[in-house]
Amino acid sequence: MRHYLMVRPAHFDVEYSINPWMDPGKPTDTRLAITQWEGLRELYLGLGHRVDLLDPAPGLPDMVYAANGATVVNGRALVARFHHRHRRPESAAYLKWFTEHGYRDVRQARWANEGEGDFLVTGSRILAGSGFRTDRRAHDEAAEFFGVPVVGLTLTDPRYYHLDTALTVLDDERIMYFPEAFTEESRRRLEKLYPDAVIASAADAAAFGLNAVSDGRHVILPQAATGLIARLRERGFDPIGADLSELLKGGGSVKCCTLELRPAPGKTGQAP
C-alpha cells in the first residue's frame, strides 16, 4: 500500500503562465478538472492505496499539483520553497499539514526546490532535477536532510521544466525517461545507472506520459501516452491510462497531482 497526499482542484485555473503549457487566454473548466481529479483519487483507492487530502486555498490555482509541496522520505518532510512568487504561499499550508499530522521532522527548505517535481525517490537514491525551478544547492540540502545520496540531473527543454515531466521512477531499480529533455552529461549519467530504462518517444513525452505514478506494479499515466503504455506492458507492468486533460492546461498530470508520503521504517501506511 502506498500513501498519497492530494489537493482537490476546487480553485483550479490558469491565471498566469510559469511554464509553456499555461495559456491564461484559454478557458478552463474547474468542474471538469475536479471530475478528472476525482477519477484519479478513486483509481488509487481502488488499488488499495491511502489518499489523504490537504485543503485547497482560494487564490492559489496551482495547489492541485501536490507533488510540488514537499518531499517525504522515512517520515521526514522537507517542505518546498517555490521558485515563482505565485506559488510561494503554498509552503505554509504544507508546513501546517505535516505539523498537524504528527510529523516531527518537518522543515521548509532553505534553497528553492519544488518537492517531488524535481526530487524523485528510488530505492537507494534521490534523482534530483535542476535547470528551471530547483536550485542546485537544494540537492545537497536534500542529501543531508534525508541522509540519502542524490544524483543531480539537468533539464534543458522548457516544456519539461520539472524532472517529473521527463522521468518516472517505476520501482526501486527501474525508471522510464525522455533523453532529449536532459543535457548530454545527464543523459550519460542515466544510461550508466539505468541501462535497461524504458525510453519515451517525443510523442509520449509531449502527452505527459512521464508524469506518471507507479506503485511498483501498476503505473498510472496519461492515457494519450499509448507508446509507453505498450512498452510498460511488455516489461510486465500493469499500466492504467488516466484522463487529466484539464489539468494539463496548467502543465501537470498524474504525478504532479500526487505527493507520496513515505513512512519511517516499520510504520507502513501510517503518518508519519
Residue 54's Cα: distance from chain center in Å? 16
Stretch that binds ligand ARG, among 59-67, 124-132, 145-153, 167-175 (CB under 6 A): 59-67
**List 5, 6, 62, 260, residue binding ligand ARG (CB under 6 A):** 62
Cα(165)–Cα(159) distance, integer angstroms: 8
- Residue list 156-195, contact with ligand ARG (CB under 6 A): 162, 164-165
Interaction between residue 250 and ligand ARG (CB under 6 A): yes
Sheet hosting strand 198-199, strand order edge to edge? 167-169, 175-177, 198-199
Confirm if 63 and 53 have CB atoms less than 8 A apart: no
The H or E element spanning position 92 is: helix 90-100
Q: Which of 83, 218, 256, 257 is catalytic?
A: 256
Interaction between residue 209 and ligand ARG (CB under 6 A): no
Q: Which of 11, 83, 162, 218 is catalytic?
A: 162
Stretch that binds ligand ARG, among 64-72, 101-109, 234-242, 263-271 (CB under 6 A): 64-72
CA atoms within 13 A of residue 269's CA, in its CB half-sphere: 4
**List 28, 68, 71, 91, residue binding ligand ARG (CB under 6 A):** 68
**List 256, 259, 260, 262, residue binding ligand ARG (CB under 6 A):** 256
Interaction between residue 28 and ligand ARG (CB under 6 A): no
Q: 106-131: buried (b, 16+ CB within 10 Å) or exposed (e) per residue?
A: beebeebbbbbbbbbbbeeebbbbbb
Q: Shortest approach of ligand ARG to residue 259 CB, angstroms?
A: 9
| Start-to-end CA span in the chain (Å) | 14
Cell triple for residue 106? 518537518
Q: What is the bridge-based pairing of β-strands 126-130 and 167-169?
A: unpaired
**List 40, 54, 67, 79, residue binding ligand ARG (CB under 6 A):** 67
Cα(89)–Cα(152) distance, integer angstroms: 27
- Interaction mask 99-118, ligand ARG, x per CB under 6 A: ------------------x-
Cell triple for residue 94? 504544507
Considering just the CA atoms, what is the radius of gyration of the chain in Å?
A: 17
State which residue, 17 or 74, has the beta carbon closest to ligand ARG. Answer: 17
Stretch that binds ligand ARG, among 29-37, 43-51, 65-73, 147-155 (CB under 6 A): 65-73
Confirm if 247 and 253 have CB atoms less than 8 A apart: yes
Q: Is 139 a catalytic residue?
A: no
Q: Shortest approach of ligand ARG to residue 234 CB, angstroms?
A: 26
Q: Is 11 a catalytic residue?
A: no
Binding site for ligand ARG (CB under 6 A): 18-19, 22, 62, 65, 67-68, 87, 117, 162, 164-165, 250-252, 255-256
